[in-house]
Homo-oligomer: A and B are copies of this chain.
Amino acid sequence: MRTVGTDVRLRVAQAPEPCAHWANRDADLVREVLDLVGDKWSVLLLGTLASGPLRYSDLIAAVPAISQRMLTLTLKQLQRAGFVERTSHPEVPPRVEYTITELGSSLLSAVLALGTWSTEHQAQIRGNQAAFDAVEPPEAGKAE
């Protein structure tokens, strides 16, 4: 166990770096991408589009739980960041296709790495949570 300095007022970085090269700037970087894909639907849409271009109504069908509102908003945000491309065909029944871009695929890969991590540690996390809940009261008006 490490003895932390008692005078760590504002200086957190005074502690030795055992293995981490952490700077607060890193947090900002992470937050930026988290703000982009940390929402409920972005990753899901990106993943759905990874298999190939889809139309608006196809996306609705492919992700039944999403509302039209959120689909539109999320799509627009992804398009704005350059993760998907929107192609509108000027035809009589309008047809709009959404395609994932290189950047979007790149992002998806990076995020999928998190999925890999999740796969490996998911069981442990759930176990921890269960053990924690067993001691600390979930306390949700439980009656039995």
Contact = CB atoms under 8 A, between A and B. Distances in A.
A122 B33 CA distance: 9
A92 interface: no
Given A33-B114, A113-B110, A121-B103, A44 B27 contact: yes
A26 interface: yes
Copies in the complex: 2
A70 interface: no
Interface of A: 1-2, 4-5, 8-10, 12-13, 15-20, 22, 24, 26-27, 29-34, 36-38, 40, 43-44, 47-48, 50-55, 57-58, 60-62, 79-82, 97, 99, 103, 105-108, 110-115, 117-119, 121-122, 124-125, 127-129, 132-133, 136
A87 to B, nearest CB: 9
Contacts of A121: 103, 106-107
Question: Could you say which of A52, A80, A112 has the most chain B C-beta atoms within 10 Å of its C-beta?
Answer: A52
Q: Which of A30, A118, A125 has the most C-beta atoms of chain B within 10 angstroms of its own C-beta?
A: A30
Nearest to A87: B1
B124 A8 contact: no
